[in-house]
């Protein structure tokens, strides 16, 4: 059996940082134009709480952010370059997931995986690592980390806590005791009746607005959808991607047995 505890009795830890996801969340939720908050130091310190870090990578397009890449390198976190392709958004999630799975095979001594991200696409990786009897810690912005990813992990660490909320405005919390679910439920109902499925990411980015959800920012929209899932108003499911070899799409549908759904759109 592979020994996952070192001579000092510490677990061996692998740290994987989805920098593009964190950067977007900081800019969108807090208006941070540059990441000047010792992010690499805080992530390293957080990971070291779970044992001895023996592998650490950060994934992003560093061509326009070389100063942050240097910061990560100083903390012995290797910047892994992920370039955009044909003008589309870069896909660090794919590279990071593949590297983590390769590590699972090539470095069996690593018993704890720390994933610094809020991207729901990492739920499947988290579940696979847990099935391999690894401990998974997810560290992401509370405002931008999906409910499914938080639930799948052994532990969720809010990034806001480890960076000390140095970014200015505090996280806005939605008062769900006063929240009007009718517009959102009616929106999803209309989409379901006219589309083969409702993609969760598409819904968040393209359809939710202040009129149908009362949300202005991405972090507010994420809070609403997380609460809708938590309360059983909507149910998440996977749909096969039409692109060859692409990961399944996370979609959502109304739980038509829920009292609020019955009240606002019927069965």
CA separation for the pair 156, 200 (Å, rounded): 21
- The whole-angstrom distance between residue 267's C-alpha and the CA centroid of its chain comes to 33
pLDDT (tens place) for every residue of the chain, 267 residues total: 455 665 566 899 999 999 988 888 877 766 554 454 578 888 999 999 999 999 999 998 888 777 788 889 988 999 998 875 543 444 778 899 999 999 999 999 999 999 999 998 899 999 999 999 999 999 998 878 888 899 899 999 998 888 765 444 455 678 888 899 999 999 999 999 999 999 888 888 789 988 888 887 766 787 898 889 989 999 998 887 665 445 577 889 999 999 999 999 976
Burial class (CB in 10 A: 0-12, 13-18, 19+), 88: exposed
The backbone torsions φ and ψ at residue 198, rounded to the nearest 5 degrees and listed phi first, read -115, 105
Q: Which CATH code is given to the segment(s) 12-163? A: 3.40.50.1010
What is the DSSP secondary-structure string of 130-195?
Answer: HHTT-EEEEEE-TTTS-HHHHHHSSEEEEHHHHHTTTTSSPPPPP-GGG---HHHHHHHHHHHHHS
DSSP-derived 3-state class of residue 110: coil
Degrees to nearest 5, angle at CA 98 with 17 and 253: 85
CA dihedral 108, 114, 119, 124 (to 10 degrees): 30
Contact yes or no for 208/221 (Cβ under 8 A) = yes
Contact yes or no for 152/123 (Cβ under 8 A) = yes
In this prediction, residue 2 carries a pLDDT of 59
Q: Which CATH code is given to the segment(s) 176-265? A: 1.10.10
Domain extents for the chain?
12-163, 176-265
């Amino acid at each position: 059996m592979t020994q996952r505890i070192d001579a000092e009795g510490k677990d061996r830890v692998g740290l994987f940082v989805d920098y593009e996801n964190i950067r977007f969340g900081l800019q969108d939720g807090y208006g941070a134009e540059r990441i000047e908050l010792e992010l690499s130091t805080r992530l390293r310190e957080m990971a070291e709480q779970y044992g001895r870090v023996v592998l650490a990578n950060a994934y992003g397009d560093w061509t326009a952010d070389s100063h942050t890449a240097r910061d990560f390198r100083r903390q012995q976190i290797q910047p892994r370059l992920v370039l955009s392709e044909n003008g589309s958004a870069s896909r660090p999630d794919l590279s990071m997931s593949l590297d983590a799975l390769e590590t699972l095979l090539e470095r069996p001594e690593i018993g704890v995986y720390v994933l610094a991200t809020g991207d729901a696409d990492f739920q499947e990786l988290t579940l696979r690592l847990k099935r391999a009897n690894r401990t998974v810690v997810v560290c992401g912005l509370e405002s931008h980390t999906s409910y499914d990813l938080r639930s799948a992990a052994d532990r969720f660490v809010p990034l806001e806590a480890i960076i000390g909320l140095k970014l200015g405005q505090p996280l806005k919390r939605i008062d769900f005791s006063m929240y009007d679910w009718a517009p959102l439920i009616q929106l999803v109902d209309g989409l379901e009746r006219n589309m083969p499925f409702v993609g969760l990411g598409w819904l968040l980015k393209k359809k939710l607005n202040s009129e149908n959800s009362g949300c202005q920012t991405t972090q507010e929209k994420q809070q609403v959808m997380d609460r809708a899932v938590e309360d059983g108003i909507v149910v998440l499911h996977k749909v096969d991607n039409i692109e060859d070899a692409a990961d399944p799409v996370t979609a959502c549908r109304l739980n038509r047995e829920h009292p609020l759904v019955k009240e606002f759109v019927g069965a």
